[in-house]
Amino acid sequence: MAAAPSGPPTDSPVHDPDLDNLVSLVADIPVEIVSDDEMALLETALALASSRASLSSSSSLLFQRNVRSISSLPKRRLSGCSVPDIEDSSDSVAKKSRAPPSLFHRFRKKKGLSVTDITATEWCEKQMEFVLLRRKKRTTKAMRAGSERHKKLEQEVVKKVKVRVKSTEDRWAMRFMNFIIGANQLLFDGLTRELPLIGFVQGAWMVGVIDEIQMPVSESERIPILVDTKTRVRNTLPAEPQRRNGRLQLMCYKYMWDDAVNDNFPTKKFFDFFNLNPYLLLSKEIRESAANSGFPAETLDEIVRYYRNTCKMLPPAHSQLLLRYELQRDHSLLGEDQFEYNHELVEGQIRTCLEFWFGEREANYTPDEECWKCRFCDFAAECRVITAGKGASSSTDSSLSTMSS
């Protein structure tokens, strides 16, 4: 099996407005009424002019400049509004008023959002903003232990083979291949782990990796059950906001899984958005790996066709999702959280997160009742912006206890 990218990337398309309809703008010549005294001054000025020809030449030059200014106005649709001032249409003003690129286009355009990006945003949008703009969030000892545990769990059921990649097309081909191999393992053995997902969710490309999928082979109704394992340093179950965050993660996986098995994968949009050549010859190692796995393919387009055919053989995931919590020290089970999938809830949460990622609004802070999160935030000392009605804190300690971050 090809080596799959594990974990979320660290590293809907937004289109420019339609400018097909061109509108010609005609500037109204302003008329100004002057007094008798002002008129006398004007006549004196005209008398002092060197010649009528030079005045005519200057006026002609001024008119030409005005014409050039009018012609440089941006073409836009008529909206029932009056013609904008010429000054407002200058290039410098346009550049100043142009909205900066969204966080999605700055940091995730080449790879797409990960499910972890969604859950981290739900945890605290302001912290996610700091992670993107300031520095990466530090990796703790507990995080490293959790990653190692997931690797061991994967090795129990999945045999990985290292494959060198030579292009972006090769990397995407590996993801699709790992899904195909994992899905076949699920169908035949009833279990697979670390299965990559790729989907187009509410106008945005999203990727994720499911910890575990079970499908009892003995039952007549074979429905995939999605499972996620969380490791804990302390011998206790997490607080409700952490459990809520874990539930959102699993619901995102089911959301993407069901979308995939319903064959909603927009192939052309995928190739276009990531600027991929579907007919580029894949590396020799990847072609050999695909052939050895039972689906000979030479291009990314062929791999995607195999992927979509595989998805059609799979049923939607079970509405019951399972979160497991185990102790890092000895991997003993601390408890399980089995819950019902809520399509409206997860769809609404994704929509809210995408508003932040696409720059439709500023980052929100955690609510007052969850401000305890700030005590564990790497950016608490830098986060001086407080929710409406609360002044900036004078010290780190006070900010930890009062601000919503």
Confirm if 164 and 8 have CB atoms less than 8 A apart.
no
pLDDT of 352 higher than 90: yes
User: Which CATH architecture does the domain made up of 104-383 adopt?
Assistant: Alpha-Beta Complex (3.90)
What pLDDT digit, counting tens, does each position of 11-61 carry?
333 333 333 332 333 333 333 444 555 555 545 444 544 444 443 444 444
In terms of Cα–Cα distance, which of 69, 75, 70 is closest to 17? 75
What's the chain's average pLDDT? 76
> Backbone phi, then psi, for 324, in 5-degree steps?
-115, 135
Would you place residue 379 in the very low, low, confident or very high pLDDT band (cuts 50, 70, 90)?
A: confident
> Backbone phi, then psi, for 364, in 5-degree steps?
-85, 165
- What are the Cα distances from residue 306, in Å, to 26, 223, 283? 57, 22, 18
- Rounded to two decimals, the pTM is 0.70
pLDDT of 376 higher than 90: no
User: By percentage, how much of the chain surpasses pLDDT 70?
Assistant: 67
pLDDT given at position 97? 54
What pLDDT digit, counting tens, does each position of 250-265 carry?
999 999 999 999 999 9
- Distance (Å, whole) CA 384 – CA 392: 6
pLDDT given at position 39? 54
How many C-beta neighbours within 10 Å does residue 373 have? 20
Higher-scoring residue by pLDDT: 242, 77? 242
Q: Per DSSP, which regions of 147-256 are E strands?
A: 191-201, 204-214, 225-232
